């Protein structure tokens, strides 16, 4: 459903509506979309079948739905049937599994970056030893030193990014009650 509301698929004007159910409802009678329409200078808002709005009365028998009451009804149904404690537990479990996967990936990134940094340090040490023991000058090895320093900077940045992601906290199953309470 969210993919269908992406700006590439649906015009942004339709997805940016101030009405909660805009773009999600279809008329059960004729299959056209239900859109929010204001009445009495904006004091009242209704969800109305698009065929009724575009072609006039007589095109569809679906009544106008009071937007506030209809949205409240839908929200109450979602709270009762979707935002249950068992669903919240399942959701927290799925999020934790996904976070565990992300943590493993980031730990591997940190380990790879650390190994790369150790290799760069060894290479730099060998270059400096070469300068000390031979007739090579720093100007002759400067391109290699620059390359190693750039690589070192990239690896340090990758390690820092991975460590930042590792700092994210998993949701504890004990938090489910608090999460479910906030959803209500």
Q: Residue 183 pLDDT > 70, yes or no?
A: no
Q: Based on the domain organization, do 101 and 164 belong to the same domain? A: yes
Q: Based on the domain organization, do 101 and 147 belong to the same domain? A: yes
Q: Model pTM?
A: 0.51
Q: Based on the domain organization, do 105 and 175 belong to the same domain? A: yes
For 55-100, how does the pLDDT look when each residue is reduced to its tens digit (9 = 90+)? 767 778 888 889 999 999 999 999 889 888 888 888 888 888 888 8
Q: Residue 167 pLDDT > 90, yes or no?
A: no
DSSP state of 41: T
Q: Are the C-beta atoms of residues 172 and 109 closer than 8 Å to each other?
A: no
Q: Based on the domain organization, do 23 and 54 belong to the same domain? A: yes
Q: Domain residues for 23?
A: 3-81
For 122-157, how does the pLDDT look when each residue is reduced to its tens digit (9 = 90+)? 999 999 998 889 988 888 889 999 999 999 999 999
Give the count of domains, the chain: 2
Q: Based on the domain organization, do 160 and 93 belong to the same domain? A: yes
What torsion do the CA atoms of 113, 118, 119, 120 make, to the nearest 10 degrees? 90
Q: Based on the domain organization, do 28 and 106 belong to the same domain? A: no
Which of 47, 81, 115 terminates a domain? The answer is 81
pLDDT at residue number 54: 72
Q: Based on the domain organization, do 91 and 64 belong to the same domain? A: no
């Amino acid at each position: 459903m969210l993919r269908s509301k992406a700006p590439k698929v649906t015009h942004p004007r339709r997805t940016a509506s101030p009405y909660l159910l805009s773009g999600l409802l279809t008329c059960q009678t004729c299959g056209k979309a239900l859109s929010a329409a204001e009445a009495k200078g904006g004091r009242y808002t209704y969800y109305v079948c698009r065929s009724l709005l575009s072609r006039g009365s007589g095109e569809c028998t679906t009544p106008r739905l009071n937007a506030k009451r209809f949205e409240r009804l839908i929200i109450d149904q979602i709270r009762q049937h979707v935002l249950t404690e068992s669903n919240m537990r399942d959701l927290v479990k799925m999020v934790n599994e996904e976070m565990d996967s992300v943590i493993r990936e980031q730990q591997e990134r940190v380990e790879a970056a650390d190994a790369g940094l150790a290799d760069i340090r060894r290479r730099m040490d060998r270059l400096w030893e070469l300068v000390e023991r031979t007739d090579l000058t720093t100007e002759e090895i400067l391109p290699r030193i620059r390359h190693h320093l750039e690589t070192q900077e990239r690896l340090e940045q990758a390690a820092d990014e991975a460590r930042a992601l590792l700092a994210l906290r998993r949701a504890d199953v004990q938090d489910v009650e608090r999460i479910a309470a906030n959803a209500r």
